[in-house]
Amino acid sequence: MNIDLHCHSTMSDGALAPRSLVLRAAEKGVDVLALTDHDNLGGLAEARAAADEAGIRFINGVEVSVTWRGATVHIVGLGIDPANRELNVGLESVRGGRVERARAMAASLKSAGIEASFEGAMRFAQNPVMISRTHFARFLVESGVVEDSRAAFRRYLVPGKPGYSPYDWTTLANAVGWIRGAGGAAVIAHPGRYSLSAAALAELIAEFRAAGGVGIEVVTGNHSTDQFRLFGALSRQHGLLASRGSDFHAPEESGVELGALPALAPQLDPVWRGLAF
């Protein structure tokens, strides 16, 4: 079975509306899809209806933004109840500061000579409260400041570069607690993308497990083939379930197509074993 448990729609920083995204996943051969928009659940109902229409299975998901020791870490929640009140209230608090943060990012870009980036980025944001660095990257590409989104993140939008504005998301314990409280499985997203030492990563995993987290992404569009092996071994070592997800955002951006990644290695314990779909 082709199972893809991480992707984004226009409800956060993806370029396709939930329905189009799901229809594309079905076309690409995905059998089970989880939509995991950043910090909101607004696309799940439309995505589930489209999955029914296309004849594929669907899992309610979310990707929660966390600040851990000053670094941004993402926690995916799978199989959550979208009606859960604590989860909804929690997510609202996490996303609440995005517009103000975007204004600070635009002010920083302006001092680097880039004008009107707030308005420019907003034109790409279908869901304005979810304005993100991805939308700024699209603006920087469109206006010819950089040639692709990779360069936008390398030269701008990251710590130490113009366009970055530090932000306090939520705590690891909150994110895992909300997901668990809503009946979901919490999974550390794309661990290879954090610049953490091996020791710090082990501490992150220990705290995550203590909070009730159960899984880690092994096969993701953010990892190299070597990292599939590395994080596969780490999942076994720490007794975490393994996940697979493209982290697809848009057809023509850097990254991996829906359902196109290699399968999880057979010796890994997949997170979907415990999920209803």
Residues that bind ligand AMP (CB under 6 A): 13, 38, 65, 132-134, 149-150, 153, 249
Asked if residue 180 binds Mn ion (CB under 5 A), the reply is no
- Residue 258's contacts (CB-CB under 8 Å, 6 or more residues apart) are 4, 7, 21, 24, 25, 28, 30, 33, 246, 248
- 1 versus 112: smaller Cβ distance to ligand AMP: 112
Which two three-digit tokens encode residue 156? 């701008």
* Residue showing the smallest CB distance to Mn ion in the complex: 74
CA gap 152, 138 in Å, rounded: 8
- For position 98 contacting Mn ion by CB under 5 A, the verdict is no
Nearer to Mn ion, 131 or 264 (CB): 131
Angle (deg, nearest 10), helices 85-95 and 172-181:
150
The contact pattern for Mn ion, residues 9-28, with x = CB under 5 A and - = no contact, is ----x---------------
- Residue whose C-alpha is closest to residue 127's, from 27, 43, 211: 43
| Residue among 87 and 130 whose Cβ is closer to ligand AMP | 130
Of 106 and 256, nearer to Mn ion (C-beta) is 256
Out of 48, 74, 133, 180, which residue is the one contacting Mn ion (CB under 5 A)? 74
Round to whole Å and give the CA distance between 214 and 273: 12
> What residue number has its CB nearest to ligand AMP?
132
